A and B are shown apart, each in its own frame.
Chain A
């Protein structure tokens, strides 16, 4: 890591227009939702919309993780915990009726706000306990947290609905579109694209500002940064909580889109796939990590087709897919640690 890499910002991202694009997209989505003209997408393409919506939601996860790891060097291996906590907070507060568990039936905006707050608080709690530790211990603590959250979700049926989860969560967009699943998918995708664009723009602004430079400096060398008078712990904490809050928001949106949550949506695999997406794309590059995520989700989609095309072949495709994801993770770390679009110099991954 050279000093040049810290001081000379080499902007690969731009937020010009993205903020507006996001706002416009959100509005267009809302218009599609309420417009009496039904915009019907062909049924065969619904799988693409489903994967697309996953991409848009996980896009918020990967942007938050990128702020934590790509910019600040925080190794958060429990990202799914914040996603899950956000989803369940919204679910419990807004669901009108469920088979089991809590359903308070509050308006959905309350759920969104609560999700962001709860996820931030959890992030703050974990940050408080672990951000002073050596970097790999943060990975251990966050992984354990995710595991605790996952177990708690399935262990208290009267609160979280146990392994069945919660249903009866309001679906604002679905309701607006007059119960047409096709139009609802389209409107949801457009609105979520708007939300992702807005947060993309905000994150690019944050990281292009001097503030982002401090984060990069912490990643490169926290001692030097500290000796320059920066409160390293504060910066780490803010970065960590911001990432957690974004994941909480993503969880909330997931609840409101899906209408149901269960522990099966929030496994370690989510964390792993988002991490691999980020590493493939290039940590520290907002556009890159979204590209990497698209790559990894595209791969999942392809293998799904391959699976149904070759259903006669007795291969355990779910396992094979994870073997390949593991191999990809190993390969990218070893052969291209800066990812496809990352800046090797800035990440300090160049070997002497």
Chain B
């Protein structure tokens, strides 16, 4: 397969990662925590989508429209129950709590839904073949993943730059105390950050589930890649996360495309190596703020 075909795969993989990474990085930048349970929010989104599609027998677009707000509310509720009470204790207790929550959710899902992978039942997408650049292939569903991702980025951009909530979020990210003094109700804004970030995780989960399958480790398997994208982009920057996710997606696809088949697992290993490399060379990432110790 040619390089161009791998770049296309990379763009599609990058789309899932980017949607999730924007949510992850919003939590990091605005709530100031690394949420290791975020992968499980993706898993929850995938299962909510699966139930809506297979049990309620809904069409995929409707599934997405319903699953995203549902996951958003679930994620918000979890944050209220687990993170809000210890918000003042600093990043490490929050991080440890998120690891505990991740264990609870991941294994809870496994107990309820079983370990086996489940496939959405829907019409197999048509495969398009293009004659440019040596016969590129893609199908409608992966094309729509890319389209949905771009739409999401535009929406997030508009939200962050044009709405009062978004502007308040950015103010809070810059300086929480100052934002509070300026009359911003930071606790409401935090709630909205949780809703937005969890909704994005839900969307990534449904898309991943539709394209592949859902299982208890759906999101957990993506977590470190999402994290790597967020760090590469500059933790805290939504735009950086998008760029980081696409760079990683393409790098992973090219690695898998170039290496022999036995090395197919190295795709994700590349992401981790990039993660550590970035932390070494430029820990503030492409577009982030200072992260070094004082």
A contact set with B: CB distance below 8 Å: 75, 77, 129-130, 132-137, 139-141, 143-145, 147-148, 151-152, 154-155, 222-223, 272, 275, 279, 315-316, 318-320, 322-323, 325-330, 333-334, 337, 349, 351
Contact = CB atoms under 8 A, between A and B. Distances in A.
Contacts of B92: 75, 135-136
Residue among A154, A319, A334 with most chain B CB within 10 A: A319
A318 B102 CA distance: 15
B276 A129 contact: yes
A147 B266 CA distance: 12
Nearest to A134: B291
A126 B145 CA distance: 37
Interface residues of B, number: 46
| Highest count of chain B CB atoms <10 Å: which of A133, A148, A275 | A148
B294 A130 contact: no
Nearest to A77: B99
A130 to B, nearest CB: 6
Which of B269, B292, B294 gathers most chain A CB within 10 Å?
B269
Contacts of B82: 330
Nearest 7 pairs of A and B residues by beta carbon = A326-B103, A329-B100, A326-B104, A330-B100, A319-B107, A129-B280, A322-B107
A330 B279 CA distance: 28
B134 interface: no
B85 interface: yes
A16 B33 CA distance: 42
A326 B34 contact: no
Interface stretch (B59-67, B161-169, B206-214, B223-231): B223-231
Given A133-B292, A320-B111, A334-B97, A144 B103 contact: no
Contact of A329 (B96, B227, B263, B280): B96
A307 B228 CA distance: 38
Given A148-B272, A323-B103, A337-B93, A137 B111 contact: no
B273 interface: yes
Contacts of B104: 323, 326-327, 330
11 contacts: A75-B95, A133-B293, A136-B95, A144-B228, A144-B276, A151-B265, A151-B266, A151-B268, A319-B111, A325-B103, A333-B97
A47 B200 CA distance: 47
Contacts of A154: 265
A142 to B, nearest CB: 10
Nearest to A226: B294
A316 B111 contact: yes
Contacts of A135: 91-92, 293
Contacts of B275: 140-141, 144
Contacts of A318: 107
Contacts of B34: 136, 139-140
A307 to B, nearest CB: 14
B103 A133 contact: no
Given A155-B265, A320-B107, A320-B111, A143 B97 contact: no
A235 to B, nearest CB: 13
Given A129-B276, A144-B275, A330 B101 contact: yes
A222 B294 CA distance: 8
Given A148-B272, A320-B111, A137 B103 contact: no
A333 B103 contact: no
Given A144-B272, A330-B82, A272 B107 contact: no
A111 to B, nearest CB: 27
Contact of B269 (A151, A328, A334): A151
A143 B224 contact: yes
B189 to A, nearest CB: 22
Contacts of A144: 224, 227-228, 272, 275-276
A326 B102 contact: yes
Contacts of B231: 137, 140
Contacts of B95: 75, 136, 139
Contact of B100 (A147, A152, A320, A327): A327
B126 interface: no
Nearest to B231: A140
B110 interface: yes
Given A75-B92, A137-B279, 5 more contacts: A132-B292, A155-B263, A326-B101, A326-B104, A333-B96
A326 B266 contact: no
A154 B268 CA distance: 14
B88 interface: yes
A135 B283 CA distance: 13
B86 interface: yes
Contacts of A316: 110-111, 114-115
Contacts of B276: 129-130, 141, 144-145, 148
Contact of A132 (B33, B85, B293): B293
B108 interface: yes
A334 B86 CA distance: 7
A300 to B, nearest CB: 14
Contacts of B291: 133-134, 137
Nearest to B33: A136
Contacts of B263: 155
Contacts of B124: none
B269 A152 contact: yes
A133 B279 contact: yes
B266 A155 contact: yes
B107 to A, nearest CB: 4
B279 A129 contact: yes
Contacts of B91: 134-136
A336 to B, nearest CB: 12
Contact of A148 (B273, B279, B294): B273
Interface string B156-186: 0000000000000000000000000000000
B18 to A, nearest CB: 19
Contacts of A143: 224
